[in-house]
Chains A and B, each alone.
Chain A
Amino acid sequence: MRVDPSFEVFVEDSSTALLRTAYLLTGDRGHAEDLLQTALLRTARHWSRARDSPQAYARTVLLNLSRDRVRSLFRRPREAPMPPDVDTLHAVDAGYEQVSERRVVLRALAELPIRQRQVIVLRFFEDMSVEQTAGLLGFSSGTVKSHTSRALARLRELLADHDSLQEVPRAHR
């Protein structure tokens, strides 16, 4: 079986960045990996079109897949965490708590509706402009701004107890 070598290079160079985006969009590592593989397969299938800007192509597929996820879940068994050894459940639980605490913003992000989540990820994780975000999502700039505003307001509520996120930088005081 042969795969275009340039596609392999693309996968090696970009898959971690795309996986992180997928993780933020889904809030679930298993789903993120699933979405990434699906997005890469679709990118490969249309490689002649995607090869000029494969990361943008794959990212667009990821965004679409993240919106499809709810309906897909209604038809498929839900992925679930599986401890490697049920005798070590307590240890697993403790580790999970630590990871959960570390990923407090990720958990808050997962509380947002998908549109708002997408906007936050593209604007502030991917560092895209309002116009770039609007183009990628098929929104107007105004819609991106309103989603951003609502999403940040919600995040401020969810993360109100985390002082480090609320502090004003000294230079602006």
Chain B
Amino acid sequence: MLTDEQYGRRIGDRLRHEIDDVHASPDLVRKLRRRRTRRTWAITGAIATPVAAAAVVAVVVSGQAAPNRSTTAAPTSAQPRIVTVAFIQAETVKALGQGTQYVIYSKDTYESGYYETWTDKATQRYRNDVYTRLPAATQAGRTGDGKLTLPSGPPAPPSGPPHRQQSHAVKDLGESQEITTVDWENNWWSVNHLRDDKPQTPIPDPTDPDGMRKAVAEGKVELVGQEKIGTVDTHHLRVIGPRREYKIDLWVDSTTYLPVKETAVKAGNKQGGDEFPESEGEVITYTWLPRTEENLAKLTLSPPADFKQLK
């Protein structure tokens, strides 16, 4: 029997052989330059949740009375609440519980289209429908090896009305995810399973109260003002990353403190001489729906009977 070292070397050799036909795109530099509207998932993933909203709101509540977050006076009926780290943590934990009471509907609009997502935090499921205004033949991210990615900066201006391109339904099965995909343009569907560890990452997990407390403590939060979004009175907040790598504007309902609208902009590089462009902002709106059968049904994705299943 091979020793571990011998076997590992053999595995390495075999892996080199198996992927020796994998080559990077020769025009990668050009692609990097054009990658300008891609969503900053990690950033919005950390913010676009009731948990984040609650944590941020907790700071803003203090900001209204004590912008430096360091008030120590006892509250009276005429004074705003005192905000401490313990307060933020308590609000975060409270919001976590509240988030599971809703089906969260969000609409994320960007240059070439939009997508709608329904999320049920109670069961860790979500479903989304991706709409694009790009003609099928020129969608960004469709590469020669048949892979599809989200639009990442269309090479040509989008045209035409949005049409549904793909839908995805994801179930979190603990250590794996089941992902159902329906492609409406090419009439196929598939079910994939992804196995992986839970991430160990410096980016805060929005479902982790400790992680969110840290994110709010290390970042910068501003209260821009009170604004109306449609008919809803909101607090307009601005969250700036600890290294100024992103800026998020968040409007939270002034009664429920749940987010109503968000825009996120990833900062462009201003150092080192390279000049990749700043990402363009996208707008996300949120609607908090009760967990009725009708709303939970939005999480189900059923492929049409005449679509081809890909293995």
Q: Which residues of chain A have a CB within 8 Å of any CB of chain B? A: 1-4, 7-8, 11-12, 15-16, 18-20, 23-24, 29-30, 32-34, 36-37, 40-41, 44-48, 51, 64, 67-84, 86, 89, 92-93, 96, 102-106, 109-111, 113-115, 120-121, 123-125, 127, 148-149, 152, 155-156, 165-169, 172
Bound: A92/B52 CA distance, A: 44
Bound: A81/B308 CA distance, A: 13
Q: Which of B7-15, B68-76, B89-97 contacts A (4 or more CB under 8 A)?
A: B7-15
B8 partner, pick from A12, A64, A148, beta carbons under 8 A: A148
Q: Which residues of B contact A48 (CB under 8 A)?
A: 271-273
Task: Assess whether A113 is in contact with B186, with CB atoms less than 8 Å apart.
Answer: no
Task: Assess whether B39 is in contact with A80, with CB atoms less than 8 Å apart.
Answer: no
13 A-B residue pairings within 8 Å (CB atoms): A11-B32, A19-B23, A33-B25, A44-B32, A44-B269, A64-B201, A72-B42, A72-B45, A83-B310, A121-B15, A125-B15, A125-B16, A165-B14
Please provide the chain B residues from 187 to 225 with a CB less than 8 Å away from any CB of chain A in the complex. Answer: 187-188, 190, 192, 194-203, 205
Contact with A along B257-284 (1 / 0, CB 8 A): 0000000000001011111110000000
Contact with A along B1-21 (1 / 0, CB 8 A): 110101111111011101100
Task: Assess whether A46 is in contact with B41, with CB atoms less than 8 Å apart.
Answer: no
Task: Assess whether B200 is in contact with A71, with CB atoms less than 8 Å apart.
Answer: no
Bound: A86/B39 CA distance, A: 29
Task: Assess whether B42 is in contact with A68, with CB atoms less than 8 Å apart.
Answer: yes
Please provide the chain B residues from 121 to 147 with a CB less than 8 Å away from any CB of chain A in the complex. Answer: 124, 126, 128, 130, 142-143, 145-147
Bound: A172/B147 CA distance, A: 44
Task: Assess whether A86 is in contact with B186, with CB atoms less than 8 Å apart.
Answer: yes
| Contact of A82 with B276 at beta-carbon distance under 8 Å, contacts A72-B41, A75-B44, A148-B8 already known | no
A6: shortest Cβ distance to chain B, in Å? 9
Task: Assess whether B11 is in contact with A165, with CB atoms less than 8 Å apart.
Answer: yes
Which residue of the partner chain A has the closest CB to B31?
A37
Task: Assess whether A74 is in contact with B177, with CB atoms less than 8 Å apart.
Answer: yes
Q: Which residues of A contact B192 (CB under 8 A)?
A: 78, 80
Q: Which residues of B contact A168 (CB under 8 A)?
A: 1-2, 6
Bound: A70/B269 CA distance, A: 27
Main secondary structure of the interface of A (DSSP, over half): helix
Q: Which residues of A contact B146 (CB under 8 A)?
A: 81-84, 92
Q: Which residues of A contact B14 (CB under 8 A)?
A: 105, 165
Q: Which residues of B contact A8 (CB under 8 A)?
A: 29
Bound: A92/B183 CA distance, A: 16
Task: Assess whether B147 is in contact with A29, with CB atoms less than 8 Å apart.
Answer: yes
Extra contacts besides A81-B190, A105-B18, A124-B9 (15): CB < 8 Å: A2-B275, A15-B24, A33-B143, A37-B28, A41-B32, A67-B200, A67-B201, A76-B41, A78-B170, A80-B148, A83-B188, A86-B308, A92-B146, A111-B195, A152-B11
Bound: A16/B25 CA distance, A: 8
B11 partner, pick from A16, A68, A89, A105, beta carbons under 8 A: A105
Bound: A172/B277 CA distance, A: 57
Task: Assess whether A78 is in contact with B181, with CB atoms less than 8 Å apart.
Answer: yes
Q: Which residues of A contact B81 (CB under 8 A)?
A: none
Contact with A along B287-311 (1 / 0, CB 8 A): 0000000000000000000001011
B228 CB–A CB distance under 8 Å: no
Q: Which residues of A contact B205 (CB under 8 A)?
A: 71
Q: Which residues of B contact A46 (CB under 8 A)?
A: 271-272
Q: Which residues of A contact B195 (CB under 8 A)?
A: 110-111, 113
B152: shortest Cβ distance to chain A, in Å? 8
A159: shortest Cβ distance to chain B, in Å? 8
Q: Which residues of A contact B187 (CB under 8 A)?
A: 86
Bound: A3/B194 CA distance, A: 36
Task: Assess whether B194 is in contact with A152, with CB atoms less than 8 Å apart.
Answer: no
Task: Assess whether B186 is in contact with A82, with CB atoms less than 8 Å apart.
Answer: yes
| Contact of A82 with B148 at beta-carbon distance under 8 Å, contacts A115-B197, A149-B4, A165-B10 already known | yes
Task: Assess whether B23 is in contact with A16, with CB atoms less than 8 Å apart.
Answer: yes
